[in-house]
Structure 1
Amino acid sequence: MMIIREATEQDLEILLEFEQGIVSAERPFNSTFIDGEIHYYDLLILMQSEDSTVLIVEENNEILASGYSKIRKPENSYSNFDRYAYLGFMYVKPEHRGKGINKLILDELISWSKEKGISEIRLDVYDQNESAVKAYEKAGFEPLLLTMRLKS
């Protein structure tokens, strides 16, 4: 049976592996990445903060997936909301993909965000990552902004 729970420091080793799995999956979409190990997140701070939660899905004492929600303030003064939840660290072990596990985590992160009084929920995804885009659209997300770049 799958359970969803908050991550703890004891989970850090596998979560750091998940982070590198995310980086590996995103490398083909971003030519600006440096070589070697990249760290997107400070997982301990995310775990310890009252304004964030890091969740994992576990089955038979094996951690299968992860995700986080962090409450942020908008970077501008013209949004019609004063806080929003940012979702990230969405990872499912390759052998467990296609089982609806990402949706389980999304639902829990969205519920956590709503319990904190947040109605605006955002995440970033590479537009070329079609499977991820489709999964998020299926969960109700819609595109908002496309960042473009020029290397000169």
Structure 2
Amino acid sequence: MEIITIRKAHPNDLEKLLEFEQGIIAAERPFDPTLKAKKIHYYDIEKMISASHIEVVVAVIDSELIGSGYARIETAKPYLNHLNYAYLGFMYTVENHRGKGVNAKIIDALKKWCNHQDIVEIRLDVYNENTAAIKAYEKAGFKKHLINMRMIE
């Protein structure tokens, strides 16, 4: 049986993490016709790895990186009863390792990091049509909260 470990990302993981980012973008393109057709980047991963308010983690099997995710501390709206919350993103699992609980292990590790930062609320965004991702996040304990709507003319 393969043992999946979760660890903090290191700068030497950058090349693989950039591949993961392109995998995320490719998966999300069908859900968002406003994404540019050329190669784009969502993140400054190198900067994220070294930031004190962001925890970037990777899932590893036998020294092979198979998944990623991050938690970023954000300032909450002044009308909420908590000062900060964590935003999760960069959630990716290599295709041939999906269905093995990798995403759940990444979320669990990020939740633990958030708890150590005294963060009580965790948020993320997911495309409404991405039913597989929605089911995975609901299974991890997330609940739908707001619906973000837009109009493209």
TM-score category by the smaller chain? Answer: over 0.9
Q: Give the corresponding residue for 2:97.
A: 96
1:118 aligns with 2:119: yes
The counterpart of 1:35, out of the listed 23, 28, 37, is 37
Partner Cα separation in structure 2 for residue 90 and residue 79 of structure 1 = 26
8 Å Cα contact 2:4/2:102 also seen in 1: no
Q: Give the corresponding residue for 1:45.
A: 47
1:10 aligns with 2:19: no
8 Å Cα contact 2:72/2:86 also seen in 1: yes
Q: Which amino acid in 2 is paired with 1:37? A: K
Tell me by how many angstroms 1:2 deviates: 2.0
Structure 2 unaligned residues grouped into runs of 5+: none
How many pairs are equivalent? Answer: 151
Tell me by how many angstroms 1:17 deviates: 0.4
Partner Cα separation in structure 2 for residue 81 and residue 39 of structure 1 = 31
Q: Give the corresponding residue for 2:25.
A: 23
Partner Cα separation in structure 2 for residue 100 and residue 2 of structure 1 = 9
The counterpart of 2:71, out of the listed 69, 74, 81, is 69
Q: Give the corresponding residue for 2:130.
A: 129
Partner Cα separation in structure 2 for residue 45 and residue 84 of structure 1 = 20
Deviations 1:20-44 (A, max 9, x none): 0000000000010011111111111
Q: Give the corresponding residue for 1:106.
A: 107
Tell me by how many angstroms 1:108 deviates: 0.4
TM-score relative to the length of structure 2: 0.95
Partner Cα separation in structure 2 for residue 120 and residue 79 of structure 1 = 11
Tell me by how many angstroms 1:96 deviates: 0.4
Q: Which amino acid in 2 is paired with 1:60? A: D
Structure 1 unaligned residues grouped into runs of 5+: none
Partner Cα separation in structure 1 for residue 56 and residue 10 of structure 2 = 8
TM-score relative to the length of structure 1: 0.96
CA RMSD of aligned residues (A): 0.9
SS at match of 1:128: coil
4+ runs deviating over 4 angstroms: none
Tell me by how many angstroms 1:77 deviates: 2.1
Q: Which amino acid in 2 is paired with 1:9? A: P
SS at match of 2:100: coil
Partner Cα separation in structure 1 for residue 53 and residue 21 of structure 2 = 21
Tell me by how many angstroms 1:143 deviates: 0.8
